[in-house]
Amino acid sequence: MVVTKRPLQILVAETQGQIGYMIESTLDEELMRIGLDDEKLFLTVLTYVEVDPKDPAFKNPTKPIGPAYPVYIKSGYIKTIKGWRRVVPSP
């Protein structure tokens, strides 16, 4: 099986869409359960967010992303349960 690398922004949009879909589905199901099932009342909108480059989180990146490596690669990686992974800021 070949896994094609995709840009981070595509993966973020995919995650946003999946989370939005789960929220929509849950809310729709609850409305139907209480008898308000005439029309769809929820939708997911994907948006861009501008992060302040002075945000303190950029000084100490902690969010692991990308593949895990069995050995230390270089600075900017942390040891996780899965192996060494790149870390990025997550303000």
pLDDT one-digit tens code per residue, 8-60: 888 888 999 999 999 998 988 888 888 877 676 788 888 888 888 888 888 88
Between CA 12 and CA 19 the distance in angstroms is 11
Say how many Å lie between the first and final Cα of the chain, rounded.
Answer: 35
pTM: 0.57
Which of helix, strand or coil describes residue 64? Answer: strand
Token pair of 90 as six digits? 């997550």
Token pair of 34 as six digits? 């209480």
Q: pLDDT-based confidence at 5, cuts 50/70/90? A: confident
Which of helix, strand or coil describes residue 67? Answer: strand
Q: Where are the beta strands (DSSP E) in the chain?
A: 63-69, 77-80, 83-88
